[in-house]
Structure 1
């Protein structure tokens, strides 16, 4: 059964972490500290993985579903969304380091 936006704010905090599923692998994890985090559970190459999609209310239900759909498109094409995220983050970090250090000795391929 799909979640509704009004239900999310009503989920009570307990002394244990619990999950409320939406659909197509998307679920909201409610933690004892009060945080509510979106995750996508998926399988690729025979391994089960989970992709963090953000914290509620920063990421709304509609945004979480959009991110889930985008990740599912990557999975369908054979790309692991976790690896794609790590790669783009590494590229961003290497670019920002080069931008901060003009005249750095990094090869042009890195900058």
Structure 2
């Protein structure tokens, strides 16, 4: 499974990527997670299974959902509290549930 996290510059989500990767490793899940700036998402649509938006780019949710529908991946915004606390486990759970609802 490929998870793409999206924020303004791709930097604030890098901490979250590490936390999510730790959780995936502990659970022995084969998941690739990357963080990208919102204007680079188009370069990752072929690999993405799930796209999660950081709170700072939540305003792009409808636009990204349309992109997801056109390219076959799920899109949603990350819960602000989980994002702020860098709760990688909860955000990973969210992504897994999204992918399982195909």
TM-score for both structures, normalised by structure 1:
0.31
Q: Which has the higher contact order (CA 8 A, sep 6+)?
A: 2
Greater C-alpha Rg:
1
User: Quick check: which one's helix share is greater?
Assistant: 2
User: Quick check: which one's strand share is greater?
Assistant: 1
